Structure 1
């Protein structure tokens, strides 16, 4: 009896079964290139890990990361049509919600209650906020930097203090403070750590851990070229990356220190304040609403343009992606 044909047929069937599916590793090169503007901060770790560890590829995605300094620049790149998605803080989302409603928040992927700090080169002069009158303060306009600073002023009843706001780019903050161009800076990590390393005499004006909860989010345009399945796959890849981060913190820190060229000791110092989780919660809505009211009260935005924040959160996409991901892992 000739068994050659049946054996070949069985072999071909087995080979076919072993091939990746349409969303598998083998098809990522055939997928359209999807560009994500990523802020050069450890807060973006899930994006970097998903890329470095191949989680995007495992979900059939052909991702190209476009690295930028700060969430404001990332968001601007998205609005200019240069990228498909961007990472940014909730403050940037809030400010832009007053001027446009053509973007969505797909998910938050990390939170920190100690990422933004108020710093000075003179601990004697600015040992508390009571001495802030007349000071020049370096701030990144329309960002977490500005909301954090104003929150401190309100908390310590200094909102009427006469100060000079000096709007700077994130990368200009440390240099401006060191050169005496400003008296204080409201800056996010890793710039406070950089300042401490270069200028040991610099210090935090007050302890601010727990005063402000910053989140980093993935945002995109509502009607872009990326279909729903690919959007869901991006969220699923980020979920895998976050699981990896939480299960392998040391390996994750080593990867991020190499990617961002940050000293491992510095990164460990920052890492302890990060809570990596994929969410789209009511806490984010409340935070955005609080910041919206602050921006209106300070006349930073046109109050008549205020929208329902829930309109720019894509809960249906998020829940669908997570439910599908859970089913796949049962």
Structure 2
């Protein structure tokens, strides 16, 4: 699981005992970002992973042995473009010639390209510097890059360490990032246990929405994020357990972008619905509803 407040439903399900209530013994392994989480899943080191829909999309061009069990949160302000001298790029017209730190094949890259398109800067000569999430802040501070496209809590950590750092431009509403639970298709984990995981996450999402203050306190302690800063981020989060057509549409849009940018082999494109386990999701939610009636 990724070390971000987006993973809150998983943390809450563990901390409040929802996994145990559903007969599960879950071990949480924290990683930096969804790309690393997905790679750990594919390496067989974990049974499930949290990741953004961008990582799901990129990998769908190379393999179909994984499945999306559910989305559990969305944010329209989680990924940000940051600089130590934001005034230099305040209208993005001056971005030509800049070095930009990006996490390859992730929400970081899709978000950055979306921003360029919105401001008609797709043809600007930019040097993309591909970094791991834990290299982002240092690369900016050491002036190895001029800007970074990064997700929370990295922007918060950067501003905390470097007071001159700020968003280059307000991007709230530009890109709706979703965080998803992903597993392997042919796996020894039973259908019943998968359903139980989704039911525990449903309980966690309900808890988060009913008790936001309690939830934020738990997450701020677990991730060592200032409570005030977390409550500021929290306003952008929509916690819901879904597997909807909105996710399909987002994946299709991003797939076309990746093909247009020549980032993926277009002949490998699949019907995105092949990697969404709707049957599992619906059966888990129906059974959960019956239990609570």
- 3-state SS of paired residue (1:131): coil
| Alpha-carbon displacement from aligned partner over 1:70-122 (angstroms, at most 9, x marks no partner) | 00000000000000000000000000000000000000000000000001111
Counterpart pick for 1:162 among 125, 129, 134: 125
* Partner of residue 251, structure 2: 288
Counterpart pick for 2:92 among 125, 129, 138: 129
Counterpart pick for 2:102 among 119, 125, 139: 139
TM-score (norm 1): 0.88
* Partner of residue 115, structure 1: 78
Please give the alpha-carbon distance, in whole angstroms, between the structure 2 residues aligned to 1:203 and 1:44: 24
Task: Say yes or no: does 1:95 pair with 2:58.
Answer: yes
Counterpart pick for 2:198 among 211, 220, 235: 235
Please give the alpha-carbon distance, in whole angstroms, between the structure 2 residues aligned to 1:274 and 1:104: 24
Please give the alpha-carbon distance, in whole angstroms, between the structure 2 residues aligned to 1:225 and 1:129: 49
* Partner of residue 288, structure 2: 325
Q: CA deviation at 1:263?
A: 1.3
- 3-state SS of paired residue (2:87): coil
Structure with greater Cα Rg: 1
Counterpart pick for 1:272 among 222, 230, 235: 235
Counterpart pick for 2:175 among 202, 206, 212: 212
Task: Say yes or no: does 1:41 pair with 2:4.
Answer: yes
Structure 2: gaps (5+ residues): none
Please give the alpha-carbon distance, in whole angstroms, between the structure 2 residues aligned to 1:176 and 1:231: 40
Correspondence 1:164-179 to 2 at 5 A: 164-179=127-142
Q: CA RMSD in A?
A: 0.6
* Partner of residue 24, structure 1: none
Counterpart pick for 1:59 among 10, 22, 46: 22
TM-score (norm 2): 0.99
* Partner of residue 212, structure 2: 249
Q: CA deviation at 1:124?
A: 2.5
- 3-state SS of paired residue (2:101): strand
- 3-state SS of paired residue (1:63): coil
Range 256-265 or range 277-286, more displaced: 256-265
| Alpha-carbon displacement from aligned partner over 1:5-63 (angstroms, at most 9, x marks no partner) | xxxxxxxxxxxxxxxxxxxxxxxxxxxxxxxxx10000000000000100000000011
Please give the alpha-carbon distance, in whole angstroms, between the structure 2 residues aligned to 1:188 and 1:124: 20
* Partner of residue 188, structure 1: 151
Structure 1: gaps (5+ residues): 1-37
Range 283-292 or range 192-201, more displaced: 192-201
Runs of 4+ residues deviating >4 angstroms: none
Range 117-126 or range 59-68, more displaced: 117-126
Please give the alpha-carbon distance, in whole angstroms, between the structure 2 residues aligned to 1:50 and 1:203: 33
Counterpart pick for 1:84 among 37, 44, 47: 47
Higher-RCO chain (CA-CA 8 Å, sequence separation at least 6)? 2
